[in-house]
Amino acid sequence: MNVEGHIKEIKKAAAGIDRPLRLMEVCGTHTVSIFRAGIRQILPSNVALVSGPGCPVCVTDDAYIDKAIAYALEPNTIIATFGDMLKVPGSCSSLSLAQAEGADIRIVYSPLDAVDIARDNPERRVIFLAVGFETTAPTAAAAILTARSMGLKNFFALSAHKLVPPIMRALLDSDDIKVDGFLLPGHVAVVIGAEAFGFLPRDYRISGVVAGFEPEEILRALARLLRSIEELRAEVFNEYESVVREEGNRAAQSILDQVYEICDADWRGIGRIARSGLRMREEFAEFDVERVAPIEVEPSKKNAACRCGEVLRGAIEPRECPLFARVCEPLHPIGPCMVSVEGVCAAWYRYNRG
């Protein structure tokens, strides 16, 4: 079926539903693709598509950024990070400002690049900022295993990995958030498998569809999701079968389980969610910079005017934040949702400011 066919299916299914619906994507790549293709604008009037906490940079707590900055300003230290972390605001500063003050902060495209930096600078401490969801966590685990095999004593990670299913549960358990169905993140599902989302129909009687990232794939997933709602069928569907298996990637899961264990985690603007993060196991404590060289930072200070937390939860749209497109812009971001290219506010600013 082509794009027009999927749109007809969406409209047909929506016409058979006599109530307003809120469907949520929890993937930053989906958010950008949806805005770029104008998918929100072609949905029926009773279907609203909202963005959830799918941007890994955006959900990284400001206390983590404060700690990363503190480490960056330590002598003989190199910070290795993905580029979109540079401008994420902490309480009073950012990594880009620390870099301007002389901190040695280097952009990498893979955690293994950070291992190479540690190998080439044996006299200096190299700290990789390990953030992201289940998608990137296996590569961070692989980097730690590689550093161990190389006998590196100067490679460390500052971990803040997050898990997607627990935050989805937290949203559904919230009194002020209503979600009728989910577009499930394709990249995350590659690792954990479609079956990892089975709690949606089992515990909440709602459907989810694993979706690809092209506009036609997203429309096909939305059509499937709406049909399931119209038919009163709560189920998890896999519309990304070319790369996603029901059981996921067992090799990636094995690497994750070898290096990490589940822990409680802080989500920016949302708070602490039980069993929603990963920390290194005791056997790998020598690579955990917080264990090897703990550092104290002042309690993080929240910007009361920034409403990123509510945006990340799908409670409000970016235009409802008083800072959006006024004080907070991509060149001068106040909150993380405006920093990352996958941030909801950044997508709204670029594609949907009307």
Tell me if 244 is assigned to some domain.
Answer: no
Q: Are residues 70 and 153 in the same domain?
A: yes
- Cβ(188)–Cβ(135) below 8 Å: yes
Q: Are residues 68 and 140 in the same domain?
A: yes
Tokens of 38: 């104008």
pLDDT score at 256: 97
Please give the average pLDDT of every successive group of 10 residues along the chain, which has 354 residues: 90 95 96 94 96 93 94 97 92 92 97 98 98 96 98 98 97 93 98 98 98 96 97 97 97 98 93 96 98 88 85 93 93 90 92 69
pLDDT score at 123: 97
Tell me if 49 is assigned to some domain.
Answer: yes
pLDDT score at 121: 98
CA atoms of 216 and 27, how far apart (whole Å):
17
Q: Are residues 102 and 214 in the same domain?
A: no
The amino acid that residue 123 corresponds to is E
Q: Are residues 172 and 52 in the same domain?
A: yes
Q: Are residues 316 and 335 in the same domain?
A: yes
Q: Are residues 78 and 49 in the same domain?
A: no
CA atoms of 52 and 50, how far apart (whole Å):
7
pLDDT score at 277: 97
CA atoms of 81 and 67, how far apart (whole Å):
14
Q: Are residues 46 and 66 in the same domain?
A: no
CA atoms of 130 and 78, how far apart (whole Å):
14
User: Residue 143, exposed/middle/buried by CB under 10 A (0-12, 13-18, 19+)?
Assistant: buried
Q: Are residues 325 and 195 in the same domain?
A: no
Tell me if 352 is assigned to some domain.
Answer: no
Tell me if 181 is assigned to some domain.
Answer: yes
**CATH number (domain holding residue 18):** 3.40.50.11750
pLDDT score at 299: 74
CA atoms of 56 and 180, how far apart (whole Å):
23
Give a three-class secondary structure readout of the chain.
CCHHHHHHHHHHHHHCCCCCEEEEECCHHHHHHHHHHCHHHHCCCCEEEEECCCCCCCCECHHHHHHHHHHHCCCCEEEEECHHHCCCCCCCCCHHHHHHCCCEEEECCCHHHHHHHHHHCCCCEEEEEEEECCCCHHHHHHHHHHHHHHCCCCEEEEEEEECHHHHHHHHHHCCCCCCCEEEEEHHHHHHHCHHHHCHHHHHHCCEEEEECCCHHHHHHHHHHHHHHHHCCCCCEEECCCCCCCCCCCHHHHHHHHHHEEEEEEEECCCEEEEEEEEEECHHHHHHEHHHHCCCCCCCCCCCCCCCHHHHHCCCCCHHHCCCECCCEECCECCCHHHCCCCCHHHHHHHHCCC
Tell me if 303 is assigned to some domain.
Answer: no
pLDDT score at 353: 60
Q: Are residues 155 and 79 in the same domain?
A: yes
pLDDT score at 331: 87
**CATH number (domain holding residue 268):** 3.40.50.11740
Closest CA to 9 of 35, 43, 36: 43
Q: Are residues 256 and 127 in the same domain?
A: yes
Alpha carbon 197 to chain centroid distance?
A: 16
Tell me if 315 is assigned to some domain.
Answer: yes
Q: Are residues 134 and 85 in the same domain?
A: yes
Counted domains in the chain:
3
Tell me if 302 is assigned to some domain.
Answer: no
Tokens of 230: 């119209």
Tell me if 256 is assigned to some domain.
Answer: yes
Q: Are residues 196 and 313 in the same domain?
A: no
List the domain range (segments joined by +) for residue 121.
Answer: 62-161+249-292
